[in-house]
Structure 1
């Protein structure tokens, strides 16, 4: 499936060989879940969850949806949420724009709404901060915990059919520093690399026969 060339070039330059065996073991649980769901011809609904739904969970949602479309994997729907709503942090938007996404602000205020496009003929991803059980998100999803804080402080997610752990370091530690843009791009790159690895493995498993 065609995505914007700048995003395609970015993804093509990623090196999944950089992922350590220890990290691959964590990602394998995610891979097995998706293979099972797709093989059963069920929709795969992934809800990436962190505390504020402001940084890592949005990176994960957006890269996962984009890569699934690029690799033409069927029935994968990606969402994100938090244990509380805040706002998508501006450096997340800037990092995604740097990688080739076309982003428009649909509504401003304390919690802006963004339209994020990854291809000419694709529906945009609508991004804003929300709780994981917000009506915008579906029920019966796989909860992918992208931060340790949410994983520890949200022991029960009623609408989740399965709960998986895929945590990342918070780029927030660099907010307001001269390293902020670099740290956000590094985190975006890491999440994109791991999502690429996951979905490549899923595709290989589905079509190995």
Structure 2
């Protein structure tokens, strides 16, 4: 069983969505999925809602700091925002493959509820596509 860490700034939105998809879309248990932030901002309710619309329940997730997972032998570390990639403390992970994709942060959008919903939906769909590809190429392949 592989260990996958999804890392973002606050572990509230994008990393939580990726965590949810990486867990739910595995055809069989291939990896244990963790998500963390370089800070903890709590679980974003709009992220929970947009994932629920796609049948993924992340309401039981917690916002965790990367230091909480010290000592886990990582196979993959995925950063999902530029800020986390640039400011992440050193994570000792000999042999871990480090991947990066900067997903837009829908929680930063100021606008109507409809505009915010669309932003969350677009980011969610982008993350879902990335996670499907990651599972196919890195875990199942």
For the criterion TM > 0.5, the same-fold answer is: yes
C-alpha RMSD of matched pairs (Å): 2.3
Structure 1 portions without partners, runs of 5+: 1-42, 104-113, 116-126
The answer as to 2:14 corresponding to 1:56 is yes
The answer as to 2:34 corresponding to 1:98 is no
Give, in angstroms, the shift of residue 93 of structure 1.
0.6
The answer as to 2:131 corresponding to 1:173 is no
C-alpha spacing 1:173/1:160, structure 2 compared with 1 (3 Å): farther
TM-score (normalizing by structure 1): 0.59
Deviation per residue, 1:115-157 (Å, 9 max, x gap): 2xxxxxxxxxxx111101215x861112211110010112521
TM-score (normalizing by structure 2): 0.84
Give, in angstroms, the shift of residue 201 of structure 1.
3.4
C-alpha spacing 1:175/1:62, structure 2 compared with 1 (3 Å): farther
Aligned residue pairs: how many? 138
Give, in angstroms, the shift of residue 185 of structure 1.
1.2
Give, in angstroms, the shift of residue 173 of structure 1.
2.6
Query: What's the secondary structure of 1:134's corresponding residue?
Result: helix
Give, in angstroms, the shift of residue 189 of structure 1.
0.9
Structure whose CA Rg is larger: 1
C-alpha spacing 1:67/1:189, structure 2 compared with 1 (3 Å): same
Structure 1's consecutive aligned runs of 4 or more residues displaced over 3 angstroms after TM superposition are 175-178, 201-205
1:150-169 to 2 correspondence within 5 Å?
150-154=84-88, 156-159=90-93, 161-162=95-96, 163-169=98-104
Alignment equivalent of 2:73, drawn from 116, 140, 143: 140
Deviation per residue, 1:73-98 (Å, 9 max, x gap): x4311110000111111100110111
Structure 2 portions without partners, runs of 5+: none
